[in-house]
Every structure is written in C-alpha cells, then in structure tokens.
Chains A and B, each alone.
Chain A
Amino acid sequence: MRQLEGGPGARPVATHPALSGLLQLQTGGTYATDAASLLGLLLAGPSAGGAWCGVVGTARLGLEALASAGVRLDRCVLVPDPKESWLEVTAALTDVLGVVAVAPPANGVGERDASRLAARLRDRGAVLLTLGAWPRAEARLRLAETEWIGLGRGHGHLQARRVTVQVHRGTAPARSRRLWFPDLDQQIRPAAERRAEVSRHLRSVG
C-alpha cells in the first residue's frame, strides 16, 4: 500500500546516518517537522550526498547550525521572502533541485495546492521538507524530552543536548529514538536509551 502511495518511481534518498532505521527519505515524499534543527538534519543527508537544496519562505534558519549539521551552503539556494508566490517558487525549484525546504505562510496551505505539488514531486523525483504543518505528509517529525547539557544557574554555557525524535506516519503509533543532537563534539548521533544510561551511571557510582 505504501508503495502505491509513493508511486512507482519512489527511490530512496540519502538520509542522515543518525536517522537510519527510523526514517528513510524517498523521492516524491513530503516530510513535515516543527523544529528548525530537525529541518537541518533532514536537509543534511541529501546535501552531503551532493544534491542541490532550496529553502523557501524563511529567513530565520541559522546558517551556521545548518552548516554544522552537514548542509553544504555552496549548493543551497535561498528565497527568504517569496511573498504571495511562495507556492509557485517552491514548484519551480522542485523542478530542478533535489530537495526543497519550505516554511508555509501562517494561514497554511490548501489541500488542493498540496496534492498538486505532491504530484509534481513524484513526477520530478524531488523531496519536500516543510517547517510547519502540511496536509498528508509522508511523515511528521517532532522533538520531545529535550535535555540541555552544560548550562547551570548563572554559569556554564549550552554545550550539548539529548532529545527524543518522534516520527509519526499517518495514524500509526510514533516511532522514536533518543539522539545526541548535538553531542559535546557537535556531532549528531544516536544516544543510549534513557534507562540504559541511568543504569550505567548507577554502575559507575557503585
């Protein structure tokens, strides 16, 4: 059934290793997320594989964070303020770029526009990532249980964080994974599950 939805030509697209086994991007798919850092993580996979990326509709993405997640900025095109023609611009970019990230405007996107764009994505073999809600997205990603490391009460600075990335597909129960996002060396990698981590701490104390 999923193969039918993805269309006959759905091919896997390079995905960040931290997400392997949790999510595999496929051409023609739409992936929605609500956190800018997750958008960067999704962009990083194809970008590191040499794909051209486009970012439409937001001037807020931290470029340094994108670069450190692994996005190649020299192969990125940004249209920060497309005004009312954001859908047209997104469609034009999906024609030529492998991956397009879009932040839809506050009033959202219509069902009809979304399904027309989805048909175009399947036709061109592109991937659409959205920062914000999107109707009938292939998968929705969100961050939960964020835990920052390095900051105290009046001392230290942010150094690393542990999060749980949750992937929702349709109405199925969410799949999730604990990630260092990033770890102390600014790398993004899977973290041990919380329980295992706690027990290790206990062992080290005992």
Chain B
Amino acid sequence: MPRILVLWAPDWPIVAGSEGVRAGAPVAVLAGGQVLACSQAARVEGVRRGMRRRDAQSRCPELVLREHRPDADARAFEEVLVAIEQVAPGVAPLRPGLCALHVPSRFYGGEVEAGAVLAEHLVRLGVWDVRLGVADDLFTAQQAARQASAQDSLVVPPGGSPAFLRELPVDVLDTGQGGDPELVSLLRRMGLRTLGAFAALSAADVHTRFGTHGALLHRLAGGAGTQPVSRRRVPPELTAALALEPPLDRVDQIAFSLRTTAERLVADLAVRGAVCTTVRIEIDADGQTVALRRWMHPRWFAAPDLLDRVRWQLQAAVIGAPVDAVRFVPEVIEPVGDHAEDLWGGGIDERVERGIARVQGIVGHEAVVQARVQGGRSGRDRHLLVPWGDQPVAARAAEQPWPGVIPPPAPATVFEQPQEAWVVGAEGLPVGVTGRGLVTGEPSRFRPVPDAGWLPVASWAGPWPVDERWWDVASARRIARFQVVGVDGSAWLMIVEDGRWHTEARYD
C-alpha cells in the first residue's frame, strides 16, 4: 500500500492575503468580524483565532486586517499545487493550505529525501513555512505534518500509526474535514483524553453509541484509516504560443501568421468538449512582454475572434520593436454544453454578433458599448457603459434608495460634460445658493447652454442640495440641483456648484 505524504502550509489565508504587507508585520484575516487566522507576529502580541476585530486591535494596534477571500486562497494555493506537480504528479488538494500525495520515495531515494525536495521546491516559490508528514494513512500523515517543524518532514514508520497517535489529545478530531466538536466534548467528559484511550474502546460499542461517523473517527484514531487519496489529474497545457522568427512589425502579417495557432487552440479545446470565454493575450517584443490584456467574449472565442483581439491589442499598444512572440493563455474554459444553443435558438443572434465584431474592427473594441442603468443621483452617474463583450463591472444597484435623486420623468438628453450656464434674477444679478441651501433670489432669465440665447424663466424649482461623498476629499461634491422651464417650453436640469451654474441634462 502506498505511503501518504501530507503537505501543510500553516495560516494559509495569511500567506495568500498578505501581499503588499511588510514582512514580519502582524497580520490577521477576518471572516464575519472574527479572526480566522493570524501571523506569528500577531500571535506573539496576543491575537488569537476566533477573537473579535476590536479585541484583536486592542491587543495589537498596528495589526494589518484583511478580509477573508476564500477564492483568493484557493487561487494562490493552485500555484503551489502546480509547483508540486512539477516534482511529483497526482496531488489531492484537501483544502487551501493542505494537500496530500503518494510519497515519490523510490525516485528521490527515500521518504525524507522526497520531503526535502518538495520543501526546497516550495521555498523557492516563496512559501517559507511548509511542514510535511508521512504515514500509512491520511489522518496520521496530517497529524504528523502538524507536529513537524517548518520546512521539515516528520516520518511515521510503516505500521507505527497507532503508536504515534496514542498520545495525541482527542481535540485533534475537532478540526479539519469530518471534525466533530460535539463528539470531542463528549469524549473529554467521559474521561477519554487521548486518541489511544478512544481507540481502545471496542469498535462495536463505539458504533452503537456514536453511529457511523463516530465509528469512522474511531478507526482514524486507531491508525486504521483507509481514506484514499483522490489524486487530481494534471490540468492540460492549453497555452498556444507562436514564436515569430524573424520578428514582424506589421499587424496584418502577425495576424496572418497566427491563424494556424489560433485554429489549433480552438481545435484543442473542442477535442476536450470545451470552449474558451476569457483569454489572455501576451505579446513579446525584444524578449519582453510588452502588451498583455484579458479579453472576454459574449459567447466564446472562435479562431477569427482571437485574431481580431490580437489585431486590436497591437493597434492599441505602442510597441517600439518588432514582435517576436504571441501567446494565447485561455483563462476561463467552460464546457461547450453550457453554451449550446437551446432548441429555439438563444443567446445573442450570431449574425448580430458578427456584424458588431465588424463595427469593432472599424472603430476599435472600446468604442462599441452596451448600456445599462445603474444607481446614482444624476443622469450621468446613472449610466453604466461597458465595452461590447466585456463582463459588466460591479454596478451600483438601481433599486436601492438614492436620497436626493430627481424623480421621474428622466431627462432625454444627458450631456457628457455639464454645460456652462447662466441664471440671473430680476435685477440682472446672478442667482446663487447660500450655505444653508436657500436661493438668493428668484431666477428670471437664464441661458442654459453657451450657444443658446437668454430666455425668460417660466417656472422653476429648487434648490435640492446634495452633499455627496463628503467623507472622501477627492470625490466629495456639494451641489444644488434646479429644474428650470423656459417660456418656450424647454426644460432643463441645472446644478450650482461653488457659485457657478451648469446644465446637466435637458428634458426635450
């Protein structure tokens, strides 16, 4: 039976979440307002797992706090998995920070040696604190890894699992996969404080009293776990690259040379029953990556789409030197079944999409946009424009209340930039708004846009003061809005900011 090696990187959320933090600074990762993990420096100051944010900060005022992002943890651990796969294939990720594999002891000449090679490889990747445990079964190997010192491995000899586990406290059954805090608490109250004492009970009694799950933990405690290591398959290498020799500098030449590469990438994916919806295109010149960009597609990338993206990227970037390599790195791959057309046709009409791609070819990728309405107080803030084919960025919710928003009808014309305007009272003096939000005089004539003439005011309302984002100096605004209707029936939405009038929108 193959021996199992468990690799443990303690405090993985800290390792994954502390980029940009000075080395050695106290860091804590919070989940739901409680400390989920903390660095050694923070632990020295008295920060503990499960502590509330305020308690942790009172122990250690200079504590750097990060929100827990499970996705980021998993993504960061993916790099570690890839690095391990370079040394030994068939890694089973257990959770971010913990993985298991069969010890490649024969190849490296022993279990300790194999562990040393792995540890060295990961340290080179920048993961300093890795601990390895080797044993007959997964549970014992995990416990061994927890007892090992940093960058070292602890080997439990074959058949030595029961002896190794005997002296461990039952609390180790508390955490990790299949952990059962209630059972642990009960065992302690029954006076069974070590795994050895628990394992000494008869299996039939344990099964009767604690059920199937208890019986499983009982077997684990006896060192008789048989949980197999479900090894993941090494993900296929899909990056398609083309080295251009000699280097080329004309866009059409480069795109033409890439045709077969792009077709091969799409065909490779099709063989696996997959399509690529997000691709990263890297362009090298003079041996350096000079242009790098992620592209998304509303459906999926076919070969001509990939070539279009290369063309746009080359046109947009200023590349001084001839291009000597182009790489397509598929970032998001989805099963083709998810994108199949339903029975009545679906998604975006393919003809429409081809036509829009042609327009993008004329004016560029960014110039063709799709629009949505998002939350905000004035016309322009409420527009969300996303380049055609890109995923919409986080929109502000339009349904939530926006105090100070102008009630409908919405203006039909919203100027890109507020237009300069003038409003005067009966004596010809400019109308202003006081600090207390009162108007200094009744508007009688106005000029809504610079190329319009003066117009008598038929009716008006305001000021509606808005004090937006006062907590942020850079984007804070203190304005007052007015609606003004001229005698010709034209209606305008105007603002006063710092005593100057501007027209934001027109109701035409």
A residues within 8 Å of B by Cβ? 35-37, 39-40, 52, 59-68, 73-74, 76-83, 85, 88-89, 92-93, 95-97, 143, 145-148, 151-161, 182, 186
Q: Are A64 and B355 in contact (CB under 8 A)?
A: no
CB <8 Å contact, A79 and B408: no
A148 (CB) vs chain B CBs: closest residue: B485
Task: Give 17 new A-B contacts, CB below 8 A, not counting A146-B490, A160-B409.
Answer: A62-B379, A63-B371, A65-B410, A68-B408, A74-B372, A76-B370, A79-B369, A82-B362, A88-B362, A89-B359, A93-B359, A96-B352, A96-B354, A148-B507, A151-B461, A154-B442, A154-B461
Please name the residue on chain B nearest to A163 by beta carbon: B489
What residues make up the interface of B, taking CB atoms closer than 8 Å to A?
A: 349, 351-352, 354-356, 358-359, 362-363, 367-373, 379, 382-383, 385, 388, 406-416, 439, 442, 459-462, 483, 485, 488-491, 505-508
Contacts of B416 in A (CB 8 A): 59-60
Contact call A64/B410, Cβ cutoff below 8 A? yes
Contacts A62-B410, A63-B373, A80-B369: A92 and B461 contacting too (C-beta < 8 A)?
no
Write 15 A-B pairs (CB below 8 A) sorted by A numbering: A36-B506, A62-B379, A64-B408, A74-B372, A77-B388, A82-B367, A85-B362, A96-B355, A151-B460, A151-B491, A157-B483, A158-B483, A158-B485, A158-B491, A161-B507
Question: Smallest Cβ distance from B300 to chain A, in angstroms?
Answer: 19
- Leading 4 A-B pairs by shortest Cβ distance: A96-B355, A146-B489, A64-B410, A37-B412
| Cβ distance A47 to chain B, nearest Cβ, rounded Å | 13
Interface centre among B362, B409, B414, B488 (most CB of A within 10 A): B409
Q: Which residues of A contact B349 (CB under 8 A)?
A: 52
Complex CA gap A60/B385 in Å reads: 12
Known A-B contacts A36-B412, A152-B461, A158-B409; the reply to A79 vs B508 at CB < 8 A is: no
A156 contacts across to B, CB distance below 8 A: 459, 461
Of all chain B residues, the one with the shortest Cβ separation from A152 is B459
Asked if residues B355 and A93 are in contact (CB atoms below 8 Å), the reply is yes
- Contact in complex: A60, B413 (CB < 8 Å): yes
Say how far A40's CB is from chain B's closest CB, in angstroms.
Answer: 6
* Given A52-B349, A89-B359, A153-B459: A148 touches B489 (CB 8 Å cut-off): yes
What residues of A have a CB within 8 angstroms of the CB of B358 in the complex?
92
A168 to chain B, nearest CB (A): 18
A60-B483 contact in complex given A68-B409, A157-B461, C-beta closer than 8 Å: no
Verify A97–B367 contact, CB threshold 8 A. Answer: no
Instruction: Tell me whether A65 and B354 are in contact (CB under 8 A).
Output: no
| Chain A residues whose CB sits within 8 angstroms of the CB of B367 once the complex forms | 79-82
- With CB as the reference atom, state the residue of chain A lying closest to B457: A153
CA distance A44 to B495 in the complex (A): 30
Judging by beta carbons under 8 Å apart, are B415 and A60 in contact? yes
**Complex Cα gap A178–B383 (Å):** 31
Across the interface, do A78 and B410 meet the contact criterion of CB distance under 8 Å? no
A145 to B406, CA, bound (A): 24
Report the separation of the CA atoms of residues A124 and B483 in the bound assembly, to the nearest whole angstrom. Answer: 43
A67 cross-chain contacts in B, Cβ below 8 A:
373
Instruction: Chain A residues near B442: list those with CB within 8 A.
Output: 153-154
CA A152 to CA B351, docked complex, whole Å: 51
Cα separation A113 to B34 with both chains bound (whole Å): 67
Contact call B505/A62, Cβ cutoff below 8 A: yes
Q: Which residue of B lies closest to A55 (CB)?
A: B371
Contacts of B414 in A (CB 8 A): 60-63
**When chains A and B are docked, how far (Å) is the Cα of A161 from the Cα of B488?**
13
Cα distance A147–B491 when bound, in Å?
10
Q: Which residue in chain A gives the minimum CB-CB distance to B349?
A: A52
Interface pair B355/A97, CB less than 8 Å apart:
yes
Contact between A63 and B383, CB atoms less than 8 A apart? yes
